[in-house]
Chains A and B, each alone.
Chain A
Amino acid sequence: MGKIELTLKKEPTFSLEAESINPDNFKGKTQKDIGNLIIFHGNEKLTLKDFFDIKGTAANNLNEIEIVINGNLSKVKRIGEKMSGGTITINGDMGMHVGNTMNGGKIVVNGNAADWAGAMMEGGELEITGNAGNYVGAAYRGNWEGMTNGVIKVKGSVGYESMIWARGSTPKKRFPKLICGSAGQFLGLHNHGGIIICEGNAEARVAADQARGFVVVKGKIGRMMPSFKKIGEVSEIELPDGEKISGKFVEYSGDHATSSETKGRLFVAR
Chain B
Amino acid sequence: MKKFKSFEDVVCPFCGTLCDDLKIILEDNKIVEVDNACAIGTAKFFSSNVSEHRYTTPMMRKNGKLKEVSWDEALNKAAELLANAKRPLSYGWSSTECDAQRKAVELMEICGGILDNTASVCHGPSILAIQDVGCPTSTLGEYKNRADLVLFWGSNPVHAHPRHMSRYSDFIRGYFRIDGHLDRTIIVVDPRTTHTAQMADMHIRLNPGEDYELFNAIRAMCRGVELDIKEVAGVPIKKVKELVEILKSCKFGVLFFGLGLTMTKGKHRNVDAGISLTRELNDHTKFNLTPMRGHYNVSGANIVFTWSTGYPYSIDFSKDYPRYNPGEFSAVDVLKTNDFDVTLVVASDPASNFPKDAVINMLKKPLISVEPHKTPTSEMADIVLPPAIAGIECEGTAYRMDKVPIRLRKVKNAPEGCMTDAEIVEKLIEKVKELKGE
Contact = CB atoms under 8 A, between A and B. Distances in A.
Nearest to B223: A260
A48 B269 CA distance: 39
Which 6 interchain pairs have the tightest Cβ spacing? A43-B112, A42-B86, A42-B87, A257-B216, A257-B219, A227-B220
B438 to A, nearest CB: 14
Contacts, number: 103
B328 A256 contact: no
Interface in B92-110: none
Contact of B86 (A43, A190, A223, A226): A43
Interface string A166-202: 0000000000000000000110011000000000000
Contacts of A225: 213, 216
B232 interface: yes
Contact of B216 (A43, A96, A226): A226
Given A226-B227, A255-B216, A257-B219, A142 B318 contact: no
A256 B221 CA distance: 9
What band does the interface of chain B fall in when counting residues whose beta carbon is under 8 Å from A? 35 or more
A141 B325 contact: yes
27 contacts: A14-B86, A14-B340, A40-B318, A42-B87, A42-B318, A43-B86, A43-B87, A43-B317, A115-B327, A141-B325, A142-B131, A185-B266, A186-B266, A189-B269, A205-B212, A209-B273, A225-B213, A226-B213, A226-B229, A227-B217, A227-B220, A229-B228, A230-B228, A257-B219, A257-B220, A257-B276, A258-B219
A17 interface: yes
B324 A141 contact: yes
Contacts of A230: 228
Contacts of B216: 208-209, 225-227, 255, 257
Nearest to A45: B319
Given A227-B225, A258-B276, 12 more contacts: A17-B319, A40-B319, A42-B341, A43-B111, A75-B339, A116-B328, A134-B327, A140-B325, A205-B266, A226-B220, A226-B232, A255-B220
Interface in B311-327: 317-319, 324-327
Contacts of A209: 216, 272-273, 276
B350 interface: no
B269 A15 contact: no
Please classify the interface of chain B as helix (H, G, I), strand (E, B), loop, or mixed, using the class held by over half of its residues: loop
B213 A223 contact: yes
A44 interface: yes
Given A40-B319, A255-B216, A260-B225, A208 B269 contact: yes
A260 B227 CA distance: 11
B113 interface: yes
Interface string B220-237: 100111011100100000
A61 interface: no
A44 B86 CA distance: 7
B214 to A, nearest CB: 8
A17 B321 CA distance: 14
Given A14-B339, A186-B269, A209-B273, A227 B227 contact: yes
Interface in A194-226: 205, 208-209, 223, 225-226
Interface in A130-186: 134-135, 140-142, 144, 161, 185-186
B359 interface: no
B86 A41 contact: yes
Interface of B: 86-87, 111-113, 128, 131-132, 210, 212-213, 215-217, 219-220, 223-225, 227-229, 232, 265-266, 269, 272-273, 276, 317-319, 324-328, 339-341
Nearest to B240: A226
Contacts of A260: 220, 223-225
Contacts of B112: 42-43
Interface of A: 13-15, 17, 40-44, 75, 96, 115-116, 134-135, 140-142, 144, 161, 185-186, 189-190, 205, 208-209, 223, 225-227, 229-230, 255-260
Nearest to B226: A229
B219 A144 contact: no
Given A40-B318, A208-B216, A209-B273, A259 B223 contact: yes
Nearest to B130: A142
A41 B220 CA distance: 48
Nearest to B277: A257
A223 to B, nearest CB: 7
A20 B86 CA distance: 20
Contacts of B228: 229-230
Contacts of B111: 43
B218 to A, nearest CB: 8
B341 A185 contact: no
Given A43-B113, A144-B132, A227-B217, A256 B225 contact: yes
B107 to A, nearest CB: 13
Contact of A14 (B212, B220, B269, B341): B341
A258 B277 CA distance: 10
Contacts of A226: 213, 216-217, 220, 227, 229, 232
Contacts of B339: 14-15, 75
A197 to B, nearest CB: 22
